[in-house]
Amino acid sequence: MEEYRLLQLIGRGGMGHVYLAEDTLLERSVAVKFVAMVRPDSRARRRFLVEARAIARLSHPNVVAIHRVGDLEGHPYLVTEFVRGQSLEALPRPLPWRQVARIGVSLARGLAAAHRAGVLHRDIKPANVMLTEEDQVKLLDFGLAKLLAESAQALDDAPSGAPPPPLTSPLTGAGGLVGTPLYMAPETLQGAAATRASDLYSAGAVLYELCAGVAPRHALDPSTSLEDWEAMEPPSLRQRAEAVDLRLEAIINRCLQRDPAERYGSADELCGALAALEEPHILAEIPEGNPYRGLQPFDARHRSLFFGRETERLEVVERLRGNPLVVVTGPSGVGKSSLCRAAVLTSLAEGALEDGRTYRTVTFVPGYDPLAALAAALSGAMGRDEGALTEQLRGDPQGLGRELQRVLGRTAGLSILLDQAEELFTQAPAAEATACGEALGWLLRETRGLRVLVTVRGDFLTQLAGLPVLGDDVPRGLYLLRGLSPPAARSAIVEPARRKGVTFESDAVVETLVASSDTAAGGLPLLQFAMAELWDARDAILQRIPASALAAIGGVTGALSRHADGVVASLPPARVATTRSIFLRLSTPEGTRLRLSQTEFESTVPHAAPVLEALVQGRMLVAREERGETVYEVAHEALLHGWAQLRGWLEADAGKRPVCERVEAAAREWERLGRASELLWSGRQLTEALPLTPEDTSSLGTRFLAASRAAARLKRTRRWGLMAAAPLTLLLGLGSLRLRDDWELRRKVEERLEAASVELDRGHQTRDEAVRLRAEALAGFKVQTAATSQEAAARGKEAERLWTQATQAAERAEALLSRAAQILEGALAFGTGDARVRSLLGDVLMDRLQLADAFHHPERQHELLERLRTYDPDGSREAALRRPPVLSLTTDPPDAQVELERYEGDGARRQLVPTGLSLRAPWSRVTLGDGPGSYLLTLRAPGRVVVRHPLLLAPGESISLSQWLPFERDVPEGFIYVPPGTFLYGSTVPDVPRRGLLRATPLHEERTGAFLVQRTEVSFGEWIRFLEDQASEADRARHLPKSKGAPMPLQLQRGRDGRWTLTLGTGEAQVSAQQGKSLRIPGRDKAQDWERFPIMAIDQHDADAYTDWLSRTGQVPGARRCDELEWERAARGADGRLYSHGDQLAPTEATIDETYQRRAYGPDEVDGHADTASPFGLLNTAGNVYEWVRSVASREEALIRGGAWYYDAWIAFAANRTVVEPGTLDPTIGLRVCADAPPSPSP
């Protein structure tokens, strides 16, 4: 401990001794805690260090930071931040209820951060909660009670009637009984393991004591037995604290519920409930005028009128506490900008982060010059010139970050909103988008007081994640914003009017609006626009919005079109064409908005000024000042999709747009180089531009085309003049001219062949490099001996580095080969009929096809194959791609019946088609005339199980299989035998989402041995049999499925009659059913047998206990969790399909979030969706519930696969690897069992 100098002893207790110390390296005060360990042997010390390091990874303003974990001469110690202040235990009590609520919010925030990291506190009490001199709440000693218990001597087996220890002393003992009795939950006093719910109980007990002055069980006699102690109901808080707010009392009472399922589902939920009690720091004024924003986003001025997003506001702010970057993503029109501008930024400015800083907020939209826009946003905060800031952002963003840190110091903060980040990819040049990503990323890394909030449309998320520096942090900061729930939509509809004293004539009108907001495309902006129109149609005398007004404006979906048509109809007929030109210039082919200045319109659209003003007045365009100039943009993307007339204009203009863009690019280059004549267009280029009118191009583009046409006319005139002046000479020289032309063409062909050969040689060299790097990368990805997490991370990082180099080399090779093909196609255009050109072109296309196949680009393969047919007149090359594979097969027993089918169709579903081969084994070199592809072998023999073997066969491949069919008696009922074999493992999605979202490897070949796998997920009925076979009630309770909160509370209980009851949900949505009774989830049409539901809310330890039981009792010898190779092969077969049945997953084909319209969430029976069974016959490998599997990458990695009823189809990809904590208890997680295969006879 050379760098720490102990100054004085500042505390001692059951946890050990605490010293104030000086960190001599960083010159700061720290606290050093030597943790008391009753049995400090080497094993106990190692376990302490491992668990303490996990706790040390917590980083949150409301959690005391652990700087170091170590061991000094056999004495474990922790080095933590030194907190100046006092514990809640030292405060005079009771406290005013508002102060208690504020303390509770911070306590819950710290607890929520810990729970998300998989860390429990286990000993929350006033002595472990500090209040700093700045009134900041900090939680101490996370998990230390458990660490002590692991190393303590076991308590004597005292009789249950023995008195408990002192009320406020820590209790540690065998069986996980840890904590301080006054604040412990009833179930932990009974010996149950600590959970998130027991932490919430302890937090409620602390809040109770702060309000009442004494703890809930304070009145009990210390000699009371543990049973009486646990059974005691706390006195009503109202009896001890009459002034407490009723809402706070209800919150504390819920925390103190005896049944853990009745408490809050999470610390986040408790935090939200307490935060709702706080009075706003500033009473927001209600702005004048229409309370609905129409197509404009809400901002800080309209905060008092922004409703329906309180939960999302709290969630995003909480994310910003632990992560300096949060990316709010979702579809267009979901309300990303409004949430950030009106709710999140205002909360940050009011101190919601509670980190001791006062935050200033700035906003920028990228546009054409994102660095200049960012510099403009920063200039006010830094007091510097925009131009100089722009240059430093481009050249030295790290230095600027350090300068910004100096400006902010320790007390100031800056929050930056990058709004509409999709403009980085639709408006800004690629180099500028890259520079902006690097600049923001380095600012975040260098500036501690900086928070960056980004909004981006979901379809541009992958591109955002691909930006350098900033993109690395995007996966960790993702926040998916969904549409408004019906209650939230109702609030957004009713409350703004109510704030203005206006009501709706009937509830039916409100319900119609709520329903429309959920069904209309771009629902929220359309709803806000309709609401703005309804407000204008209100009855000003009665202060009421009449029911008839909704029909009058054309409903929610028709209001926007009707209004836009009305604005255009009010313009003079001669100005309609101008309106069309304006909207076409303000939109992109991708369906996003552009911004153009008044100057740009004046140079491209005649008479634009009065039309622009009319469209702004009509709320169809927005005008704002940017850097001293008026800039215009479409009011909202909803206009681009929801206004029929504009859609018609865009569709009619779609064919011209690419030509217009090429004209404008060529015109800018022509202007830049002094209008050089050699840059003018001619021939086919001018032919392409014939459909364009002056309204389609800018004035520069129009001048460029005019100059090009004039030059072309002059060239034609000169040519015809020469021909007319010397017809005789032309006639006499015709023969020699033809010979010369033939020679010239042959010379040009030879030049092209030589140039193509050069490109081809470079392409082959680069292709070989790509193939070599690919092989090295895939060797790194291939499963090896399970490693530690650090070893696995290092191996994966190196493999990804090689893979990136391989894909870059492959793209360079493709570009070189493509260039060679273009040169050769140009040579063909000379019309010499040279066979060498066509042959070489066919060879180049074959090279490109093989490269596309190696790197899994099926779309490119399809395109190249179509082109190959043009340059492969004898079909020899295509025939090589379709060479039939050859299959030899022997079986045990030797005369098994074998059927071969082929998978066809590369779209939504892969269909099995008979090949006509259905013969008894053995097969000797049977030629598969259907060619290479994906096949399914099915083998049958009397007394043996049916064996399915998916195969992926390459062109001309010769394969020999020896297949053993196990006896039926050796395979447990409900299990499937999977023979040894190879398959494609991993994913072909782009690298950024593959790494960051799926955590999958690139697609490559892997192999498994033989194994057994359960056809369905483990059901509740099967789990109940496991529970009933447990030796004690404590063992049974330990393995009960447990879920207290979102997305669905779940409880399984056994009644006094021995029958089990399953309860799902809470409140009005709660349903339950006993064994033998069906259960209908609210919102669904039919009831189901809940005992056939998949088991849910079990952790990894429960899963292992269940498989051990199956194996131990002989029901399934060798039962275990599937490893992820086995699971993926069983789920998708051999051919790399995305799901069990193909490459698309419809809501009706699995149980995912959209199956019941995101309303009737929950599982389906385990034997449902038989039509999407995997090639081996497994059901529900996509959706229903995640399944615990064993990681093959790291023995320390806890892994689930398969998606679930609460998540979308992307999550259900067969290749998706979801890493969780081993102790995760979630109602979306279940189990499917694998087992060792029966031993095959020796050869």
Residue 7 phi, psi dihedral angles, 5° rounding: -105, -50
1109 three-class SS: helix
For residue 397, the number of C-alpha atoms closer than 13 Å in the C-beta half-sphere is: 21
The answer to whether the beta carbons of residues 140 and 296 sit under 8 Å apart is: no
SS3 for 979-1012 is: CCEEEEECECCCHHHHHHHHCCCECEEEEECCEE
Q: What six digits make up the tokens of 722?
A: 């020469």
For residue 898, the number of C-alpha atoms closer than 13 Å in the C-beta half-sphere is: 29
- Amino acid identity of residue 755, one-letter, is A
- DSSP class of residue 313 equals H
* Dihedral sign from CA coordinates of 552, 558, 563, 569: negative
DSSP states of 834-855 as a string? -HHHHHHHHHHHHHHHHHHHHT
Residue 252 phi, psi dihedral angles, 5° rounding: -65, -40
CA–CA gap between residue 1198 and residue 46 (Å, rounded): 21
Structure-derived torsion over alpha carbons of residues 763, 768, 769, 774, reported in degrees to the nearest 10: 120
* Dihedral sign from CA coordinates of 777, 781, 784, 785: positive
Paired residues of 1012 in beta bridges: 977, 1235
* Dihedral sign from CA coordinates of 599, 605, 608, 614: negative
Q: How far apart are the first and last CA of the chain?
A: 63
Closest CA to 320 of 394, 393, 417: 417
* Residues 6+ away with beta carbon under 8 Å from 231: 186
User: Could you tell me the CA-to-CA distances from 490 to 313, 515, 518, 553, 1239 in Å, in that order?
Assistant: 17, 10, 11, 20, 63
* Residues 6+ away with beta carbon under 8 Å from 937: 889, 898, 899, 900, 947, 948, 949, 950, 951, 961, 963
- CB atoms near residue 1159 (< 10 Å): 13
The answer to whether the beta carbons of residues 252 and 234 sit under 8 Å apart is: no
CA–CA gap between residue 115 and residue 203 (Å, rounded): 13
Closest CA to 81 of 94, 67, 91: 67
User: Could you tell me the CA-to-CA distances from 230 to 189, 698, 880 in Å, in that order?
Assistant: 6, 81, 78
Closest CA to 1125 of 981, 954, 937, 939: 981
* Dihedral sign from CA coordinates of 1164, 1165, 1170, 1172: positive
Peptide bond into 260 cis (omega under 30): no
CA 244 to chain centre: 42
Structure-derived torsion over alpha carbons of residues 323, 327, 333, 339, reported in degrees to the nearest 10: 30
Structure-derived torsion over alpha carbons of residues 1020, 1022, 1025, 1027, reported in degrees to the nearest 10: -50
User: Which residue in the list 123, 369, 872, 1226 is annotated as catalytic?
Assistant: 123
What is the per-residue burial (b if ≥16 Cβ within 10 Å, else e) of 484-496?
A: beeebbbbbbbbb
Q: Where are the beta strands (DSSP E) in 588-720?
A: 596-597, 621-626, 629-634
Annotation says 123 is catalytic: yes
Catalytic residues: 123
